[in-house]
Amino acid sequence: MTMRLQPFGNSTFQCLLYVALLVTMGGCSPSDDVIDIFTGKRWKMTFIALEGNYKQYDFWNRDDDARTASMKLLASDNTFVLTFEGASLNGVVNGGIGGKGVLATLGADSHWSVTEGSRAITLSVSFTGSETDALAKAFVNGLQHCFRYEGDNDNLYLYYHSGQNVMFMAFKPQRK
CA dist list (Å): 119 to 150, 162, 165, 175? 7, 19, 19, 25
Q: Is residue 2 part of a domain?
A: no
The predicted structure's pLDDT at residue 22: 34
Residue 3 in domain: no
The pLDDT of residue 175:
83
The answer to the question of residue 21 being in a domain is no
110-141 pLDDT per residue, tens: 999 999 999 999 999 999 999 999 999 999 99
- Residue at 12 is within a domain: no
Higher pLDDT, 148 or 15: 148
Q: What CA–CA distance (Å, rounded) separates 58 from 48?
A: 9
User: What pTM was computed for the model?
Assistant: 0.81
Average pLDDT over residues 93-106: 97
State which residues form the domain around 137: 34-173
| Predicted pLDDT at 146 | 98
Mean pLDDT is lowest, of 21-25, 113-117, 134-138, 155-159, for: 21-25
Instruction: State residue 2's pLDDT score.
Output: 53
Q: What percent of the chain has pLDDT over 70?
A: 82
Tell me the residue type at 90.
N
Cβ–Cβ < 8 Å for 82, 170: no
* 131 is a domain residue: yes
What pLDDT does residue 5 have? 47
User: What is the DSSP code string of 52-105?
Assistant: T--S---TTTT-HHHHHHHHHHHHSTTSSEEEE--EEETTEEEEEEEEE-SS-E
Any domain includes 41: yes
Number of compact structural domains in the chain: 1
pLDDT above 90 for 74? yes
CATH number, domain with residue 73? 2.40.128.270
* AA letter at 81: V
Average pLDDT rounded to a whole number, residues 89-114: 97
pLDDT of 26 strictly over 90: no
Structural domain includes residue 164? yes
Mean pLDDT in residue range 86-111: 96
Does residue 9 fall inside a structural domain? no
